[in-house]
């Protein structure tokens, strides 16, 4: 099924210390460097040396609940990526920012900056923020419901898209002789008036190298899919099984096609958290070793956030109280709820078993195996309509990523699935995405 | 009057192309590099090589009115400074951000990031935004009046100060053995409830190296002075004459002392835009040469913003219509209005003469002379109660700064007025400011 020349996209998703919730307690980790920018710069440089498409940072504008026992500080992604942009030249830089808790004019400026500074490597992971605690940091009486957040996100995206288009590409003239600095006929007020926003524009800077940052999206709920099919150019998604990933992939590509989009312009990238060993037994032992560092209080808090249920009074090793799971409750609309409910149905774990299952990467696909087994799995998903690439989520950092680059990437290259060097310079180049023309330039040309 | 060892503070205030409004048309300028981050990184590295205290960026969240003829793009300062932080190690990094048009939680995160990434070199120039056009980019029916903006700024500052204090310095534990990542007794909700903001906190990151960024302020109105005397650690101010600067200096230091502050913890830094020549005639010729590139439309627009009067129908070379200046009008409260009105009263210029007077640095002190004359002026102001240092505003860049470093700085060093190398590593070190302890740590210690 491989199309000639079709290439995997591979991102490094960076969590401080690693994606396993106990990674920071692992002997090879460096928990004191969680706020040391050089730690992240070094990781990004290694990802760039391996010609990965991008690095990726998550975010939420509030203190994580489990900070007492979990290495979950949240630095601000755009500034962090900007400092990384300054010491790299090719790798894409994808940062998460919320449509619910930022202002569109300010967000548009930040990502335009990142795209200018990086010479066209910015990506924006568009989220509506799932953590209800954020509302209290922004004066809202309560966190808006899921559907309302998506409704607002659609308008937010409309506003920032117009702001990023507000300077046509050739608006900067800078002609000393005539004294004309810009061609103001090519700089446009957006005059947006909507339900949530009134924004005049334009931005105070010329259009950035990619025109707009790459639009990334990570929600897999019904609202999330509908939003992604229309707007996303790359989608991060969580799947535990091949059939689940295939169904999601087919659904999104079909929705996109129905909207007139080309399927290859929507890159679907499931998360993959690989424990890698020279033998299967070694990989399993490594996973066990890190699982043994789990602190149940952290895991139970995570489970409470996903399922809306407090399990702290339950026996970790008794039968799992399945009857408590309520898909019609307030958490039921979220894709992560469904994913965990599916694991419970399919595998019937104990509470401790479920905790260990989720500790690796918060519901993402965790796979322990040899480099060949990891590469085989990647190839299978890639060639059977489940993935256009992966968001690589090393269980611990930096070593968990280093071994992926040293052992798995070369296999993928030998199989012709992954580039040996960058062909272009922008994130759009790496993902094979077109550079959008300014909507105002298109309108002006059509009316001419 | 020189106190032994008292040292000048010198910042480089960077405007794209330079501070003279026609600088971008000058043959030695590089107008096509206004969005090239390496241009700014190179400038910052040269300022750091000269051991300057800081670089400084202005900002406003709207398109400048005169963008057709003036090189006045506005990149976002915090991202720009972050990219510069990555390639420097000592120089302070001061960015402007608005209390009227940002959210305190998001702003606190951005500056905490800049302080972390730069290892303690962040400064925040606190502005309320004077350009009324900004309101329309943020859905406000109108730009709030001057006094209201300051009232909101005081609450904003209270909120972000508590957020920056919300982690005590030793809250990050990261003890692998016990599994304790943070000491949550040392991480505090701020639970702010005020007229403009309701913010729970805490921030999602540990306290930054300086505790808080250096608080910088630039308004010289009555509201601005009152705010600055209470909160500012460095003040940027515009004065055309020594007596004006002396009066301002004495007033601020007296207000600060009345509030229990130590005078040396408020660094007063007037702007100075030097045209430097080997002889006075050469310096004057350089000023004339750049003044000849002025486009009157740009200057008249600037004058309209400052005085609230449209002079475009008036004879540039006729007598200045002084009767139009109305200190009781809506612009009269701003310090820049008063400064321009004073020039008109004192010098009785023509409209063209006033334009040339202001084109150099928007009302800041412009001085043409030999290196010795510039150094003499700096020393005089420094030693006669008018300044603790200067915000150096080169009329054109980069050459106008290079000659200041090459010709004026060595004279100041020979006179013992300016450091030859950095003694410390943070902006607080350079300015001689204390590192504030977290207010929550102080309260906890007192109650213990």
Q: What is the pLDDT of residues B21-30, one digit of tens each?
A: 999 999 889 9
The answer to whether residues A11 and A391 touch, using CB atoms and an 8 Å cutoff, is yes
% of chain A with per-residue pLDDT over 90 = 81
- B138 to chain A, any CB pair closer than 8 A? The answer is yes
B64 chain-A contacts, CB cut-off 8 A: 204
Residue A82 has pLDDT above 90, yes or no: yes
Contact partners, residue B43, CB within 8 Å, separation at least 6: B12, B14, B55, B397, B398, B401
Collapsed DSSP state (helix, strand, coil) of residue B118: coil
Structure tokens at B317: 């070379």
Beta strands in A154-233 (DSSP E): 172-175, 180-182, 192-193, 198-199, 214-217
% of chain A with per-residue pLDDT over 70 = 99
Contact partners, residue B140, CB within 8 Å, separation at least 6: none
Q: Which residue of A has its CA nearest to B97?
A: A106
CA distance B204 to chain A (A): 4
Average the pLDDT over A42-56 and give the result: 98
Counting runs of H as helices and runs of E as strands, what totals does chain A give?
Answer: 15, 13
Residue A126: what are its φ and ψ, rounded to 5°?
-85, 115
The answer to whether residues A386 and A51 touch, using CB atoms and an 8 Å cutoff, is no
Structure tokens at B209: 């190296």
Q: At what angle do helices B296-307 and B351-359 cross, to 10 degrees?
A: 90
Q: How far apart are CA A405 and CA B394, in angstroms?
A: 48
- A31 to chain B, any CB pair closer than 8 A? The answer is yes
Topology of the domain comprising A9-283+364-447: TIM Barrel (3.20.20)
Q: Residues 265..304 of B with a Cβ closer than 8 Å to A: which?
A: 293, 295
Residue A2 has pLDDT above 70, yes or no: no
Residue B34: what are its φ and ψ, rounded to 5°?
-60, -25
Residue from B68, B82, B187 whose CB has the most chain A CBs within 10 Å, to mutate: B82
A116 chain-B contacts, CB cut-off 8 A: 35, 37, 75
Q: Which residue did the predictor score with more confidence, B44 or B295?
A: B44
Q: How far apart are CA A102 and CA A80, in angstroms?
A: 17
Q: How many CB atoms lie within 10 A of CB B185?
A: 10
Topology of the domain comprising B9-275+365-447: TIM Barrel (3.20.20)
Predicted pLDDT of residue A448:
81
Residue B407: what are its φ and ψ, rounded to 5°?
-110, -35
Average the pLDDT over A282-306 and give the result: 91
Q: How far apart are CA A268 and CA B328, in angstroms?
A: 62
Q: What is the DSSP letter of B286?
A: H
Provide the residue ranges of all domains of chain B, joining segments of one domain with +. Answer: 9-275+365-447
Q: Which residue did the predictor score with more confidence, B363 or A165?
A: A165
Residue B95 has pLDDT above 60, yes or no: yes
Q: At what angle do helices A77-85 and A104-117 cross, to 10 degrees?
A: 20
- B137 to chain A, any CB pair closer than 8 A? The answer is yes
The answer to whether residues B272 and B412 touch, using CB atoms and an 8 Å cutoff, is no
- B80 to chain A, any CB pair closer than 8 A? The answer is yes
Q: Which residue of B has its CA nearest to A207?
A: B35
pLDDT tens profile B201-224: 999 999 999 999 999 999 788 899
Q: How far apart are CA A447 and CA A426, in angstroms?
A: 31
Structure tokens at B298: 């740009």
Select from B242, B352, B258 the least CA-distant residue to B303.
B352
Q: How far apart are CA B435 and CA A47, in angstroms?
A: 37
pLDDT tens profile A212-251: 999 999 978 889 999 999 999 999 999 999 999 999 999 9
CA distance A219 to chain B (A): 23
B73 chain-A contacts, CB cut-off 8 A: 172, 204-206
ipTM for the predicted complex: 0.95
Q: Which residue of A has its CA nearest to B22?
A: A179
Q: What is the pTM of this model?
A: 0.95
Average the pLDDT over A377-405 and give the result: 97
Q: Which residues pair with A216 in a beta bridge?
A: A125, A234
pLDDT tens profile B160-185: 999 999 999 999 999 999 999 999 99
The radius of gyration of chain B from alpha carbons, rounded to an integer in Å, stands at: 22
Q: What is the largest CA-CA distance in chain B?
A: 81
- A27 to chain B, any CB pair closer than 8 A? The answer is yes
- A178 to chain B, any CB pair closer than 8 A? The answer is no
Structure tokens at A329: 């409750």
Q: Which residues pair with B98 in a beta bridge?
A: B127
Residue from A28, A181, A191, A210 whose CB has the most chain B CBs within 10 Å, to mutate: A181
pLDDT band at A326 (very low <50, low <70, confident <90, very high): confident
Q: Which of B60, B64, B75 sits opposite A116 (nearest CB)?
A: B75
Task: Give the range among A326-335, B9-18, B126-135 with minimum mean pLDDT.
Answer: A326-335
Q: What burial class does residue B142 get, using C-beta atoms within 10 Å of its C-beta: 0-12 exposed, 13-18 middle, 19+ buried? A: exposed
CA distance A308 to chain B (A): 22
How many contacts, defined by CB atoms under 8 Å, are there between A and B?
200
Give the angle subtended at the CA of B414 by the CAs of B408 and B415, to the nearest 5°: 95
Element (H, E) at A72: none
CA distance B140 to chain A (A): 8
A102 chain-B contacts, CB cut-off 8 A: 103, 106
B83 chain-A contacts, CB cut-off 8 A: 82-83, 85-86, 117
pLDDT band at A3 (very low <50, low <70, confident <90, very high): very low
pLDDT tens profile B41-90: 999 999 999 999 999 999 999 999 889 999 999 999 999 999 999 999 99
pLDDT band at B3 (very low <50, low <70, confident <90, very high): very low
Q: What is the DSSP letter of A364?
A: S
């Amino acid at each position: 099924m491989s199309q000639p020349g079709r290439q995997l996209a591979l991102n490094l998703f960076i969590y401080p210390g690693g994606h396993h919730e106990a990674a920071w307690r692992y002997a090879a980790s460096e928990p004191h460097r969680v706020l040391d920018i050089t730690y992240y710069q070094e990781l990004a440089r290694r990802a760039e040396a391996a010609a990965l498409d991008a690095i990726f940072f998550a975010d939420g504008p509030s203190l994580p609940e489990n900070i007492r026992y979990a290495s979950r500080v949240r630095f601000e992604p755009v500034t962090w990526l900007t400092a990384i942009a300054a010491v790299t030249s090719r790798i894409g830089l994808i940062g998460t920012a919320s449509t619910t808790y930022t202002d569109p004019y300010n967000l548009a400026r930040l990502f335009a900056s990142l795209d200018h500074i990086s010479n066209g490597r910015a990506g924006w992971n568009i989220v509506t923020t799932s953590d209800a605690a954020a509302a209290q940091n922004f004066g809202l009486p309560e966190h808006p419901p899921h559907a309302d957040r998506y409704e607002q996100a659609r308008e937010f995206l409309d506003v920032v898209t117009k702001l990023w288009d507000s300077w046509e590409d050739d608006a900067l003239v800078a002609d000393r002789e005539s004294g004309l600095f810009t061609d103001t006929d090519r700089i446009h007020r957006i005059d947006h008036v909507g339900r949530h926003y009134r924004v005049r524009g334009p931005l105070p800077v010329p259009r950035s190298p990619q025109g707009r940052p790459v639009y990334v999206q990570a929600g897999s709920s019904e609202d999330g899919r509908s939003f992604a099919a229309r707007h996303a150019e790359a989608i991060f998604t969580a799947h535990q099984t091949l059939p689940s990933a295939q169904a999601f992939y087919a659904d999104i590509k079909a929705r996109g096609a129905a909207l007139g989009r080309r399927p290859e312009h929507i890159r679907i990238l499931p998360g993959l958290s690989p424990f890698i060993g020279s033998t299967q037994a070694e990989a399993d032992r490594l996973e066990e070793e890190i699982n043994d560092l789990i602190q149940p209080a952290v895991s139970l808090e995570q489970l409470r956030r996903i399922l809306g249920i407090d399990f702290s009074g339950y026996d970790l090793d008794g039968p799992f109280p399945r009857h408590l799971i309520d898909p019609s409750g307030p958490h039921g609309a979220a894709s992560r709820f469904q994913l965990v409910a599916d694991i419970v149905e399919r595998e019937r774990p104990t509470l401790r078993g479920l905790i260990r299952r989720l500790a690796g990467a918060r519901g993402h696909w965790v796979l322990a195996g040899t480099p060949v087994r990891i590469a085989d799995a990647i190839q299978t998903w890639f060639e059977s309509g489940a993935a256009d690439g992966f968001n690589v989520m090393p269980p611990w950092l930096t070593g968990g990523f280093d071994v992926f680059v040293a052992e798995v990437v070369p296999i993928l290259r030998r199989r012709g699935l992954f580039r040996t060097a960058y062909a272009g310079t922008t994130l759009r180049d790496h993902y094979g995405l077109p550079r959008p023309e300014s909507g105002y330039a298109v309108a002006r040309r059509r009316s001419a």
